[in-house]
Structure 1
Amino acid sequence: MEPVRREKPGIPRPSLPLKGGVVLLLTAAGASSRFGRAPKALVRIGGKTVLQAALEPFLDIPDLSGVLITYPESLLEEFREALVPALKEKLERLPCGLRFLPGGASRQASVALGLEGLIEAGRAASLDLASLAVLIHDAARPWVDAATVSSVLETTRDKGACLPLSDLPDTPKLVDTAGFVSGHPERSGIKAAQTPQGFALLSLAAAHSLAAEESWSCTDDTALWDRYLGPVAYVPGNRNNRKITYPEDLGMAGSNDSTLRIGEGWDIHPLVAGRRLLLAGKQIPHDKGESGHSDGDVLWHSIIDALLGAAGLGDIGSHFPPSDPAWKDADSSVLARRIAQKIGRLGWTLLNLDCTVILERPAVKPHREAILASIAATLGIDKERVSVKAKTMEGFGAVGSGDAVEARAVVLLSRR
């Protein structure tokens, strides 16, 4: 049914053409329920995250003034790390900078929050808000091309609202609730909507506010514009500008990314008097213990590095810097649990963990089962997935002289 257009005096009509800058709202706050694993924006394709791939075609816009990314609650750190440092630094130098904002209960709610965040940023940067255009793009569309972006933006500035439309590959049908075909529309008159979609920023934000007041919902911002402001222009879309909805959509890109990742970790700590000797949180009776900024647990530190390495998340020092007093004497079991939860939120499952402790004395064997149980409980996995071996250095080096302890770990991760 055609949307009922209800122009309201409270909605500012855009003054065309829009001659100001452009801001980008990248929507990535969805639950990815149909995808069935980690947020789609955090999956890697072609050596980069989907989030970064979806963002890069917008970087060459001459008047780009800022970027705001919506993300699922509690995943701010993961989304910040999904962009390489050089890209983040470049975006942070824009007038409105780079912002991350937790999304709402629906896409419409997330967009409304994002628009308000961009208006706030534009106001803080003393931009002419009435002349600003906003491009709204689904982060799950990493194959958008710069030509489509440019075409949408140019038409938005001239018409006030625009989206790219692509031809349907199949013949559309209308259906009823009884399970029968109720209509046979002409394929030539029906198109598939894509993003980015462009709008006059203030007008769209006002339309979103009114829709919220009236409890009117839609899945597409152009439907909202059409209801409250008027017709929406369109430009030809690109068939390659697909949206990732199901895992098999990644295969359409010819991605060769493996679902298995191996990580290796290694650490060594001096043994000194007055410290506890800890291995995966279990205290081993001894007259010396590990020296370190945290509790010095050498086995946990090697395991944490292995987990981070396999997930492509750096090393332990980048997450828990030794220069930060917050981690002074920190319990490494807590740090390990945090990292395990982090990689779990990213869709990784720990399949296997193989550890080796190199310690001249005391013997590790009497404590092996307790160490295994501690690792399994902390990481939330079965003991059968964990192996702990012990070696000596036969008197060689600092470990052999009893002045140090060393640990190595290898992990195998898979995507859920």
Structure 2
Amino acid sequence: MMRTSLRRIPAIATRAGVFIASAALAFALTPLERQHNIESFEYVWKTVRDKHWQVKPAGLDWQAVHDELRPAIEKADSMEAARAVMNDMLDRLHQTHFGIVPAELYSDLGGEGASGDSSVGLDVRILGTDALVVAVDAGSPAAKEGVQRGWQILKIGGTGLEPIITKLDASYNKSTMRELVLRRAILTRLDAGSGESVSVEFLDGANQRVTKRLAKGKPKGTLTQLGFLYPVHVWFDSSRQGGGNIGYVSFNFFLDPPRLMNLFAEAVQSCMKCDGFIIDVRGNPGGLGAMAMGMAGWFIDQGDQRLGTMYMRDTTLKFIVNPRASTFAGPVAILVDGASASTSEILAGGMKDLGRARIFGTRTAGAALPSQFEKLPNGDGFQYAMANYISEGGKPLEGLGVTPDVETPLTRQALLEGKDPALDAAIAWIKAK
């Protein structure tokens, strides 16, 4: 089996249920294709049997489920029918992070060929069905070409984005993972693939169509590889906001712990007398869960406090906060959005449950579980989770996400005007304390 880390779907991280029906037309299957579907069915069933965190998955007689559905997969005369059988099996778990991704969507999600080696220097979000630029890295190819926040991306490499977004949206429009998945799909098309540049058609701030050829440059940050994960560039930014007396940090992954934890510590220690502190994990798909415990320790001075608990088949992992000798006592704000997942949600949800942070932005991805994508013999992708996570407040984050205390939806107009509703609201709250 070909394995793909969830970091490449956006990245570590990648989770509220992937229940997808193919939009492709049904064609008669060859004997070999039928065999590949049967092999895929068996692989999916065995993976759940062997890797689910419960010995008896969701309390089901898993062997009985297999025996009931095996005749159906043998009779499946189209890819749609085969996927329906496998999704029927996974649906019975009533758990997120289990699903079949049709081959034609798997590549759009970065399942194959995603790369962290190059970038045009843009970040995007999908508002409705519009792909909007939300950030332009200083000195990047996009910045040099004059691309601005709020511009809408219409085409990449001559291919219109509307049908791609519509196709994915049909599968994820009821999922908390929608923003996470759609963002990953657009970034994959911008940054991955062959060639040293890519043609991108935008709708600019004056609603005029403009086409830019963007070179693929070195991504922002430091190249980092951890274990089996694909290498990614990890960056960390620190500044002062609100007139200079509010600390602010943002970073794109919970990875590269020696460097990132030191930078985080320096940012907090230099701000012990600040009016407040803001942690921005918007667009951060997660990483190492232990880093959330260490970061939370800079703001919680009591021992034996937990962000939450992760349950695996053979063990239980308590995310216990590690208090520092000297902690920041002022108000803490955490900024999140639909592309905040995994460790970002563990940190934000736990700090909220402990009453130590106020959350601003939009609901997170509801993708807190460690999960993996694998390519099946029939070419489809298979996502499965290997653990369950319950936040300290007693609720699962999976499929629900972290709901902000203050909802601050992003708009194209705000982007074009250089405004940041979530950051502005957090600053106003801190100043009012």
Do both share a fold (TM > 0.5)?
Answer: no
TM-score range, shorter chain: under 0.3
User: Greater relative contact order: 1 or 2 (C-alpha under 8 angstroms, separation 6 or more)?
Assistant: 2
Larger Rg: 1
TM-score, with length taken from structure 2 = 0.22
